[in-house]
Structure 1
Amino acid sequence: MSHTNKSTEPLFQTFDHEKITLSNRTVMAPMTRGFSPEGIPGEDVAAYYRRRAENGVGLIVTEGTGINHPASVSGASIPVFHGEQALNGWANVVKEVHEVGGKIVPQLWHVGMTRKEGDLPNEEALPVGPSGLRLSGEKVTEPLTEEEVVALVEAYAQAAADAKRIGFDGIELHGAHGYLIDQFFWEKTNQRTDRYGGDIVGRTQFAVEIIEACRREVGPDFPIIFRFSQWKMNDFEAKVAKTPEELDRFLQPLVNAGVDIFHCSTRRFWEPEFEGSDLNLAGWTKKLTGKPVISVGSVGLDGEFTNFSGANTASLDGLIDKLDREEFDLVAIGRSLLLDPAWVRKVQAGRINDLLPFNKEALQKLY
């Protein structure tokens, strides 16, 4: 492995925000696991998240969990965030995490047009999206009507209300990677001519209405985190915003709608977002909005997370440098935490040589 020579102390400073205080700067990144039969997270899922909390993760973001819409997820064991049984399961997750001093937010999700026809749990439900287009551009279904869009906004708002009611510490809205909200952002999948389409500002309208509706439900003091990315699952080079100026135009409506923290998803955190600057997507987002940001992307590993074959541990020096320069506020760790629940504790104790490399077997069980 590559040696970490710098002090990791910047990772372990308190994060003080007016709506949430975290014991350190580490975040468990959301990672779909698919261990929730019939969409209901059980005791094993609760124990999985508890292990990360008791090992010092500052904030846990759950795997994506489907809002109350028949086509929100694709898979019978992907968790959902509606219905008494699933919400009781999530309440138990919260209880387990809070018992050991952790903080946790659910990631509220709709997969949109990435869903295939016939996918479980609702085989009859067709995929939905702004223009009925897959990420490839293939037309599969009719565009969502305005009434259907408004109903989806309300489904997100209901999930936010339920998250607060059952004790979560905030919410994260999944607006990244080519899923539903991101399909509205991207000009290739959003060819609407109504208020939900048009230029880069117009294409934020769906997200704006979701954020505003969630804010109405949860009140002014409940944190709303918004995750976005440039890249899509089928196109790693895609960009919603091609310049800092476009990124600014894209972000301001989301800020005005009520986002507290941006979670800026990149495949490799060390890569600059635009020419002429070393700032990554999180760095630019913080510079343009003044909001706290979470950076993510192959932290502690030498291979990007879209390649799940395996990766070795890597030096944290570059990460510490960027954190020290306050380019971002929080650091999300994904695959490193899948196999090694104690990753944060080991880093804090200087046990860098004890960190476990990632291998694809980590996906097969809940360590």
Structure 2
Amino acid sequence: MASKKICVFPGDGIGPEVVREGLSVLRVIEQAAGKRMFETEEELLGGASYDVHGVPMSRNALALARASDAVLLGAVGGPRWDPLPFAVRPERALLGLRKELGLFANLRPAVVFAPLLDASPLRRELVEGIDLMVVRELTGGIYFGEPRGVSFINGVETGINTEIYTRPEIERVARVAFELSRKRSRRVTSVDKSNVLEATELWRKVVSEVGAKEYPDVALSHMLVDNCAMQLIRNPRQFDVVVTTNLFGDILTDEASMITGSIGMLPSASIGGKVGMYEPIHGSAPDIAGKGVANPLATILSVAMMLKYSFDMPAEAARIEKAVERVLADGYRTGDIYREGEGKKVGTTEMGDRVRHAVLNQYQKR
């Protein structure tokens, strides 16, 4: 097998720390295989890029991403760059990458690992067995719609953003959700606000048509976003695959992450184009950057998603996921998931070391 080329954007804040641990897990897989399987090349992105190049994403960074088989991203942004003009803030690089690479579907799993049941703010009986996948449309909706901006209209300062979706945009992300559901329990919940927003009235119509025509074997239900936000707390196990708009997906996935115990635990995959992008859903956490205490598990699990979705290596991905669960079962915790008197509190590097050791053990037991 030819080696796979991975574009690495360590990014800002804790990004470089957690990316380092994620990449080192790949090296363990290479070690077990006895050959070089992954070629990596780094570039600056986000605030780190702005500080050097004056833009959050340079032409070289975009060219490297396009020429790679997959992208691994740490995190971008932080308060130090908040005063910048909107067009050059670090987050614009993330939106630009999604658009330029054609990454229209964001997959965000929310799985509760058994050893972390008591870390959830919800009661154990509500969260035990949660295994849901949110498919968030990623390149349309209010984050990209035109017109947008802040201007004076009839002498009044006015901010404008436009929620807009076309039929093709909705069809393609709906198909991603339906295809995923066929590998799971064949249930899809489509989330919208069709009672108020015409753009999501079209969303509901198109998702229904795609489901009825192309996926009659999948059970489709619809839910208004405010009700969905409530139901995620009331009865999260009712969901399997959830498909929704860019804005609603952004909000609901953060809610789902906290149900699992920590936003530091959840990975994501952005797919749709030739090159997939993989990143933890947490932010850059500049308050703990450089202290060696960040949780690397979301990034490590993002690497597992990269192996599964970009490199067709599901067995290796499963080994990483099992290793994470093994380490948690052994009681190791970073600060965000640690409870006083329960388990052993460890830092970023030791958590990575534990996962790497657990991965290697699986190969040695074959």
Structure-1-length-normalised TM-score: 0.29
- Give 1 or 2: higher helix fraction: 2
Q: Greater relative contact order (Cα 8 A, min sep 6): structure 1 or 2?
A: 2
- Give 1 or 2: higher strand fraction: 2
Q: Which has the larger radius of gyration?
A: 2
